[in-house]
Amino acid sequence: MSLEYAQRFDGITGSAIRDIFKLLKRPDIISFAGGNPANSALESDVISEFVVRVLKQNGTAILQYGQTEGYTPFRESAAKFFEHNGVFATAEQVLPVTGSQQALDLICKVLLNPGDAMLVESPTFLGAIQTFKLFQAKLYAVDTDEDGAIPELLEEKIKKYHPKLIYLIPTFQNPTGRTLSLERRKAIAKLMEKYDDVVLIEDDPYRDLRYNGEPLPAIKSFDTTDRVVYCNSFSKIISPGMRVAAVVCTEPTLMRKLVIGKQFADVHTPNLNQAVMDAYLREGTLMEHIRIISESYGRQMAKMQEMLSTFPKSVSYTKPDGGIFLWCELPEAFNATDLFQNALERNVAYIPGTNFYCEPDTHHNTMRLNFSNATLENIEIGMGKLRDLFIEAGLK
């Protein structure tokens, strides 16, 4: 007899992207597929030093069970750090989590019943789509343009579908790299006042990687009714392998339930990992580290855009001010999902854009390119190969 699995897994395969990443282990591949920091951006010496120090100063407390609510010094330093985004919270309003993906899992666990409606940007982060599907949410896509999600369309869909949750990545969005304009941030915060049975997840892991222009305040900074849950991660600016992110939730009952959800999901985020992030924040060197990696990433983005400017004119692409991704659209007659196999044969990889849409098997003319984890030389070589492939495929 075979086992009967939970209904929430019906239609969940998790395979497309995972299979891509397995292919990418080949050392000869130039990959624009991941969402990784550059290896050179990972400060193993600094982290080693911080670990030695925190274990020496506070080894017993670090190695024992910690509070589900998080390691107090880190909650304090994270609260202070978020002020530069316009997010003013007390330490008690900060919940450290085991990567931002856990924030999504917990928020869904606390709020969603099967069949509940959710609004997401079109396109959006594929890991988020999968988590929402595991909670059996009905996903409705809200169209975006160069300035991000369109508030009028968002309101229309709020009225029509009565969603429990809205999920936005307003700054240097994954996958497009686009940023929600200041006016729209304010307009969306207003919508959250008007429709106060809806929670907005503001996922903001890329905001500190800005190469041009001035930072914009988080939507959370305009939140007057505690309906915005702000998620920030240290994966892109310190290390993804350490798995530390933090949620700011100013609605006390929601926070309490997130903590209970976390208690029965993983008890707490590893103390040592929280203490390392805390050391980065207290040391005061993080902003300088961000400045240094942003210089490199900015050059990598410029090189990728320079290469894209030599592509056939029918290929359009985004021109972000930061982040780690560019987004390309081919004419509708061309299929980036099929072309991916040809690209792999030439040892270049990207992610077919179809994976970033709620509606399966659509938008095959799109693709996501990551530039943070490729050298300038590999960007030149790899993008050159892609351009040649696209020209041979008949793009003009």
Task: Restricting to residues 133-192, name those near a copy of itself by CB under 8 A.
Answer: 134, 164
The least CB distance from residue 31 to a copy of itself, in Å, is 12
- Count of residues that interact with a copy of itself, criterion CB under 8 A: 79
- Residue from 51, 302, 376, 381 touching a copy of itself (CB under 8 A): that is 51
Measured CA to CA, the distance from residue 89 to residue 76 in angstroms comes to 9
The span of 98-106, 211-219, 317-325, 328-336 binding a copy of itself (CB under 8 A) equals 98-106
- Residue from 27, 39, 159, 345 touching a copy of itself (CB under 8 A): that is 39
Nearer to a copy of itself, 250 or 365 (CB): 250
DSSP 83: G
Residues 121, 142 contacting (CB under 8 angstroms): yes
The least CB distance from residue 239 to a copy of itself, in Å, is 4
Task: Give 346-372 as a 3 state SS string.
Answer: CCEECEEHHHHCCCCCCCCCEEEEECC
Q: Which of residues 194-253 bind a copy of itself (CB under 8 A)?
A: 196-197, 199, 235, 239-243, 251, 253
Rule CB under 8 A: say whether 93 interacts with a copy of itself. no
Rounded (10°) angle between helices 151-161 and 182-194: 20
Measured CA to CA, the distance from residue 68 to residue 270 in angstroms comes to 10
The span of 36-44, 144-152, 212-220, 309-317 binding a copy of itself (CB under 8 A) equals 36-44
Q: Which of residues 315-374 bind a copy of itself (CB under 8 A)?
A: none
Please state, as a whole number, how many other Cβ atoms lie within 10 Å of the Cβ of residue 318: 22
The least CB distance from residue 307 to a copy of itself, in Å, is 25
Length of the chain: 396
b/e string for 116-140 if b means 16 or more Cβ within 10 A? bbbbbbbbbbbbbbbbbbbbbbbbb
The least CB distance from residue 360 to a copy of itself, in Å, is 16
Q: Which of residues 243-262 bind a copy of itself (CB under 8 A)?
A: 243, 251, 253-254, 257, 259-261
Measured CA to CA, the distance from residue 140 to residue 136 in angstroms comes to 13
Nearer to a copy of itself, 61 or 344 (CB): 61
The least CB distance from residue 8 to a copy of itself, in Å, is 7
The span of 124-132, 203-211, 361-369, 383-391 binding a copy of itself (CB under 8 A) equals 124-132
Nearer to a copy of itself, 8 or 84 (CB): 8
Q: What are all long-range contacts of 262-266, with beta carbons under 8 Å and residues at least 24 apart?
A: 262/68, 262/95, 262/97, 262/102, 262/106, 263/68, 265/102, 265/105, 265/106, 265/109, 266/98, 266/102
Q: What's the alpha-carbon Rg for the chain, to the nearest Å?
A: 21
Nearest to 234 by CA among 369, 98, 395, 128: 98
Nearer to a copy of itself, 1 or 333 (CB): 1
The least CB distance from residue 5 to a copy of itself, in Å, is 6
The least CB distance from residue 154 to a copy of itself, in Å, is 18
Q: Which of residues 5-34 bind a copy of itself (CB under 8 A)?
A: 5-9, 12-14, 18, 34
Taking the mean position of all CA atoms in its chain, how far away is CA 278? 21
The least CB distance from residue 216 to a copy of itself, in Å, is 27
- What is the DSSP pairing of strand 348-349 with strand 148-149? unpaired
